[in-house]
């Protein structure tokens, strides 16, 4: 068995002697220490392969000593064994957090403890003395600073990882992170950019009212070594209007593994400790925002039609039902239009389904550009679409869908296929027109009947339900 350097740290002479004797009989080199500070100083000189460390000791407690040693590269592969008395509660979670590799219970029978110590010493634990720079070892007066640094890192990690519980609310995560950074270093301007193929997000918290948002976006985007080019952009924070001021940013990229996820940038008089704080924070942001991206993509796939980007059938019915209930409570109208692409089967038969899919995508874009953000746009199925217009009586709803019909007819469809022309037929109905509708499906049914009339009487037209 390989001869090891063994350190026994305990304020009780009986236990120091007992563990030392077991190790010495096994041919190991042994050193003892009477308290946590003595143990720390001797560990720095002796550099043990295995250290048996009591929990309750004067000056520095066992968990703290364990954490101090594990913080050194020289002790990353060493065996750090926490010893606890019979009456003490052993919290394995915190011991493991402190870097302990195993636990010795002093209340066990003597023969079992002897077997346990021998087994520990037979393991392949080892220290790396060459990695310990003796000239820069912290002395007792520096231990406070070292401990504060360790506690600081754990606090940062805890704060960042607490944001994982808010991944369903993207904007809240950005604001919470901004609040945390502002509390620590108070930057003049703060910006966070996160990229994914579907969407780039730029969050800005600024004391400048005339910040140039476009230049901030260009600057941060240029700092990615292999940027993802998002399909669109979302702007969050308290500075959305673009002015002339461009901050002198210091930036901190963050990754998930080797994958670039985003960049944090700050402007202001940032002290050295502030720089350390930001580097520590960004070490953990990659996982957070990668998870948020995955959540957002999964949510979008669950709610949106993959081809057109509009709400899928289930979600659009849910949304319409919510708005219908709201409209009834507030004595408002909900108008619904059913939209059908004219002669769509002929498009597929003539040009093939890939062209048909491009037509569906293009119609989705035209619909998004033709209606308010508050309106509800969805794919009902096949070449049929549904539009919910909030607080719009039948006349206004008819005007809105007439604009859509015109936009579709005027669109340059030849960019998809030469000589291609697309029109739509639309039926529209309102919750309060004619007989009051009792449910969303009743409004849809009335709009669908109007759509049937539009298709039967020439297509490329809008028909309003008079029911």
Q: Sheet containing 5-9: which strands, arranged edge to edge?
A: 29-33, 5-9, 50-54, 79-84, 102-105
Q: What is the pLDDT of residue 168?
A: 80
pLDDT value of position 8: 97
Q: What are the CA-CA distances from residue 431 to residues 184, 318, 320, 434, 462 (Å)?
A: 54, 16, 11, 8, 18
pLDDT (0 to 100) of residue 295: 77
Q: What is the pLDDT along the chain (467 residues), one digit of tens a residue?
A: 689 999 999 999 999 999 999 999 999 999 999 998 899 989 999 999 999 999 888 878 888 888 889 888 899 999 999 998 754 544 555 566 678 899 898 888 999 999 999 999 999 999 999 888 654 555 555 565 565 566 666 777 778 888 888 888 888 999 999 988 887 778 889 999 999 877 899 999 887 778 888 899 999 999 999 888 887 888 998 876 677 888 899 999 999 888 899 999 999 887 676 787 888 888 889 888 888 888 777 766 678 888 888 998 988 898 899 888 888 888 888 899 999 999 999 999 999 999 999 999 999 999 999 998 889 999 998 999 999 998 888 999 999 999 999 999 999 999 999 889 999 999 999 988 766 677 888 999 999 999 999 999 999 999 998 76
- Coil/strand/helix, residue 246: coil
Q: Is 179 exposed, middle or buried (0-12, 13-18, 19+ CB in 10 A)?
A: exposed
Confidence at residue 239, expressed as pLDDT on a 0 to 100 scale: 72
3-state SS of 346-398 is: HHHHHHCHHHHHHHHHHHHHHHHHHCCCCCEEEEEECCEEEEEEECCCHHHHH
Say how far residue 199 (Cα) sits from the centre of its chain: 14
DSSP, res 203 = E
Show the beta-strand stretches assigned E in 150-257.
189-195, 200-206, 233-237, 250-256
Helix (H) or strand (E) segment spanning residue 463 = strand 462-464
Residue 409's pLDDT is 94
Cα 143 from Cα 333, distance rounded (Å): 70
404, two tokens: 């859509």
- Which residues have a Cβ under 8 Å from the Cβ of 158 and sit 6 or more positions away? none
User: Measured between alpha carbons, how far is residue 333 from residues 391, 396, 424 in Å?
Assistant: 5, 11, 24
Task: Tell how far CA 60 is from the center of its chain.
Answer: 38
* Domains of the chain in sequence order: 5-137 (3.40.50.2300), 155-302 (3.30.450.40), 313-464 (3.30.70.270)
The pLDDT score that the predictor gives to residue 365 is 92
Question: Rounded to the nearest 10 degrees, how much is the dihedral formed by the CA atoms of 129, 157, 142, 97?
Answer: -50
- Dist CA 340 CA 460 (whole Å): 9
Give residue for tokens 């953000």: 373
Positive or negative CA dihedral for 98, 101, 106, 107? positive
Q: What pLDDT does 89 receive?
A: 47
Enter the tokens of residue 136.
Answer: 């820069």
- Residue 386 is predicted with a pLDDT of 95
Contact 66, 88 (CB under 8 A): no
Residue in 259, 254, 250, 262 with CA at minimum distance from that of residue 281: 254
Q: Strands of 26-98 (E only): list them.
A: 29-33, 50-54, 79-84
Contacts of 23 (CB under 8 A, 6+ apart): 4, 6, 8, 30, 117, 121
Closest CA to 398 of 326, 338, 342: 338
The structure tokens listed for 22 are: 């077991």
Q: Looking at the DSSP assignment, which residues form a beta bridge with residue 379?
A: 385
Q: CA-to-CA distance for 100 and 122, rounded, in angstroms?
A: 17
């Amino acid at each position: 068995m390989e001869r090891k350097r063994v350190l026994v740290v305990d304020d009780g002479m009986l236990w120091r002697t007992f563990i030392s004797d077991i190790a010495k009989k096994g041919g190991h080199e042994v050193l003892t220490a009477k308290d946590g500070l003595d143990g720390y100083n001797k560990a720095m000189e002796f550099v043990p392969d295995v250290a048996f460390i009591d929990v309750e000791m004067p000056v520095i407690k066992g968990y703290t000593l364990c954490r101090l040693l594990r913080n050194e590269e020289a002790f990353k592969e060493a065996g750090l064994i926490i010893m606890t008395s019979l009456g003490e509660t052993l919290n394995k979670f915190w011991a493991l957090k402190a870097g302990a590799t195993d636990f010795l219970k002093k209340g066990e029978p003597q023969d079992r403890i002897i077997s346990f110590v021998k087994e520990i010493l037979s393991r392949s634990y080892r220290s790396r003395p060459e990695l310990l720079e003796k000239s820069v070892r912290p002395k007792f007066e520096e231990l406070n600073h070292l401990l504060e640094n360790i506690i600081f890192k754990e606090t940062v990690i805890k704060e960042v990882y607490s944001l994982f519980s808010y991944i369903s609310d993207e904007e809240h995560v950005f604001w919470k992170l901004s609040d945390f950074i502002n509390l620590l270093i108070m930057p003049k301007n703060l910006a966070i950019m996160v990229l994914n193929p579907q969407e780039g997000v730029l969050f800005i918290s600024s004391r400048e009212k005339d910040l140039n948002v476009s230049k901030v976006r260009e600057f941060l985007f240029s700092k990615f070594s292999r940027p993802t080019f998002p399909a669109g952009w979302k702007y969050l924070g308290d500075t959305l209007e673009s002015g002339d001021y461009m901050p002198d940013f210091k930036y901190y990229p963050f990754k998930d593994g080797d994958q670039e996820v985003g960049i944090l940038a700050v402007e202001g008089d940032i002290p050295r400790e502030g720089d350390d704080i930001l580097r520590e924070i960004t070490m953990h942001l990659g996982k957070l925002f990668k998870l948020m991206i995955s959540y957002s993509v999964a949510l979008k796939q669950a709610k949106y039609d993959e081809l057109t980007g509009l709400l899928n059938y289930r979600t659009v019915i849910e949304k319409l039902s919510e708005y219908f209930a709201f409209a009834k409570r507030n004595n408002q109208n909900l108008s619904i239009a059913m939209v059908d692409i004219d002669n769509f089967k002929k498009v597929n038969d003539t040009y093939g389904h890939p062209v048909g899919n491009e037509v569906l995508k293009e119609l989705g874009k035209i619909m998004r550009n033709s209606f308010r953000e508050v309106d509800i746009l969805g794919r009902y199925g096949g070449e049929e679409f549904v539009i919910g217009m909030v607080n719009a009586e039948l006349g206004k709803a008819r005007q809105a869908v007439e604009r859509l019909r015109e936009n579709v007819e005027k669109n340059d469809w030849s960019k998809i296929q030469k000589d291609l022309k697309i029109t739509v037929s639309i039926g529209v109905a309102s919750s309060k027109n004619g007989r009051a509708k009792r449910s969303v499906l009743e409004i849809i049914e009335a709009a669908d009947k109007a759509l049937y009339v539009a298709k039967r009487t020439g297509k490329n037209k809008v028909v309003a339900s008079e029911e």
